[in-house]
């Protein structure tokens, strides 16, 4: 782990690219709009917007929504703010539930980025707008200081920092914290906030960054921190996006390229091809909301394990890819299987990479201060065991019985869809070190 930097050393950025170019670093921060734009062009016909969300069909969204829409699940969206008045988000944003300490202008989006993420997670699709993967879920907006914030020193002073928002969200009843932003540097206050939120049982999901494929590890933070599920991007051909960062902290992959989003603060029309790992993280949060809504008694460990076990991949699960992690999200396999076994509630399926079971430790610590014994002390592990390569086995999982584990979602046409590295044309499976 790199040493931390002072909190004002550089502004945290949203992972992404502008017109195919990487955003230049600001100070010590190297990150970019995660849903940044490539070839911006306003969508001419609103009704075409959902048709351009190419992943809804292959993921069998309509079928999944018969089982779960994400109802009852709140997602804390830490971003550029959320415009709660777009057609897709009316009634979807819990504007009064942002903690007062970090509520400054939470519904004023200074980039359009946060609003796009909110719609991809929980948008209703009203009026031909973007349809979220979990349209029954609700968004709790957090507006933090990221690259693109305007207003000078006074505005920066009033606007919360990511670490403050993460801590505040950890103390709410939101189950998922979506972070579609990142830094090249591992700020220590953000890492501590992450640990705090993880100890509270939150599912932390972040974009891995848009620095492209590399022989090394170029994952941004917070995705690079333990206890965060890092999400990479794939395109319509189920190819890992060329811009998607790679490395040991890629845990899952999701759609992140080739569909519309907001690219300004006018909110008059969408722009086509708002691409980035930000979108992939948001869609992964939507997938988690679907699963958690269907299984409200599950813990973060069980939801995470379900995402990992059912992910589509062509490689062994004990040998995760540095580009796609454990594979492409397929929440359908959990929702359609009434007998799915999610394993131990108290064992982190990524504990080898994370350095232990933080939630279990927190539970045990809390229990030791009372007369009640620790609920995790006598429970045997049913979770996938992490190996030295950072992989998992299928212990306690129903995923191995699935007949389509060799595909990511479904068979498209007559050709099985397999995840490939952008431009490479072959499936990838790279062993990775523990974080």
Mind telling me the catalytic residues? 79, 113, 278
CB 162 within 8 A of CB 147: no
Which residues share a beta bridge with 76? 140, 177
Report the distance separating Cα 132 and Cα 176, nearest Å. 15
Q: Is 12 helix (H, G, I), strand (E, B) or coil?
A: strand
Which residues share a beta bridge with 420? 239, 427
Residues 6+ apart with CB under 8 A from 370: none
Radius of gyration of the chain (CA): 20
Report the distance separating Cα 216 and Cα 423, nearest Å. 18
241: closest CA among 80, 20, 12? 20
If you search the block for the tokens 């959320």, which residue do you land on? Answer: 82
Number of Cβ within a 10 Å radius of residue 187: 25
252: closest CA among 310, 210, 179? 310
Runs of H (alpha helix) within 89-221: 113-122, 152-158, 162-170, 188-199
Report the distance separating Cα 259 and Cα 262, nearest Å. 11
Report the distance separating Cα 82 and Cα 84, nearest Å. 6
Report the distance separating Cα 423 and Cα 433, nearest Å. 25
203: closest CA among 171, 174, 245, 160? 174
Residue 166: what are its φ and ψ, rounded to 5°?
A: -60, -45
């Amino acid at each position: 782990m790199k040493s931390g930097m002072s909190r004002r050393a550089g502004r945290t950025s949203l992972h992404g690219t502008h017109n195919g170019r990487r955003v230049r670093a600001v100070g010590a921060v190297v990150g970019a709009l995660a849903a940044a734009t490539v070839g911006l062009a306003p969508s001419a016909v609103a009704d075409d917007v959902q048709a351009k969300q190419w992943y809804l069909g292959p993921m069998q969204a309509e079928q999944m929504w018969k089982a779960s829409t994400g109802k009852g699940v709140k997602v804390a969206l830490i971003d550029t703010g959320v415009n709660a008045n777009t057609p897709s988000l009316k009634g979807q944003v819990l504007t009064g539930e942002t903690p007062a300490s970090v509520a400054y202008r939470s519904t004023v989006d200074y980039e359009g980025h946060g609003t796009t993420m909110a719609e991809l997670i929980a948008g209703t699709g009203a009026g031909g707008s973007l349809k979220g993967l979990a349209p029954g879920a609700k968004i709790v907006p957090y507006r933090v200081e990221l690259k693109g914030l305007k207003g000078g020193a006074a505005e920066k002073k009033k606007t919360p920092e990511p670490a403050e928002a993460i801590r505040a969200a950890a103390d709410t009843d939101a189950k998922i914290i979506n972070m579609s932003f990142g830094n090249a540097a591992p700020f220590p206050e953000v890492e501590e906030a992450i640990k705090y939120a993880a100890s509270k049982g939150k599912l932390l999901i972040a974009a891995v960054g848009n620095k492209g494929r590399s022989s090394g590890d170029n994952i941004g933070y917070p995705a690079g921190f333990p206890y965060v599920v890092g999400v990479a991007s794939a395109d319509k051909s189920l190819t890992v996006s060329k811009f998607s960062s790679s490395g040991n902290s890629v845990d899952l992959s999701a759609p992140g390229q080739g569909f519309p989003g907001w690219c300004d603060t006018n909110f008059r029309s969408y722009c086509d091809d708002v691409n980035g790992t930000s979108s992939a993280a948001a869609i992964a949060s939507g997938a988690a909301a679907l699963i958690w809504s269907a299984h409200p008694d599950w813990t973060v460990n069980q939801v995470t394990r379900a995402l990992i076990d059912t992910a589509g991949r062509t490689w062994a699960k004990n040998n995760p890819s540095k580009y796609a992690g454990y594979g492409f999200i397929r929440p359908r396999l959990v929702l359609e299987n009434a007998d799915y076994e999610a394993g131990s509630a108290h064992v982190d399926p990524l504990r080898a990479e994370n350095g232990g079971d933080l939630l279990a430790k927190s539970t045990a610590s809390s229990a030791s201060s009372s007369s009640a014994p620790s609920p995790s002390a006598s429970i045997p592990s049913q979770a996938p065991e992490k190996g030295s390569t950072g992989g998992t086995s299928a212990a306690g999982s129903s995923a191995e019985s699935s007949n389509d584990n060799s595909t990511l979602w479904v068979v498209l046409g007559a050709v099985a869809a397999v995840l490939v590295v952008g431009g490479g044309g072959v499936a990838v499976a790279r062993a990775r070190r523990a974080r």
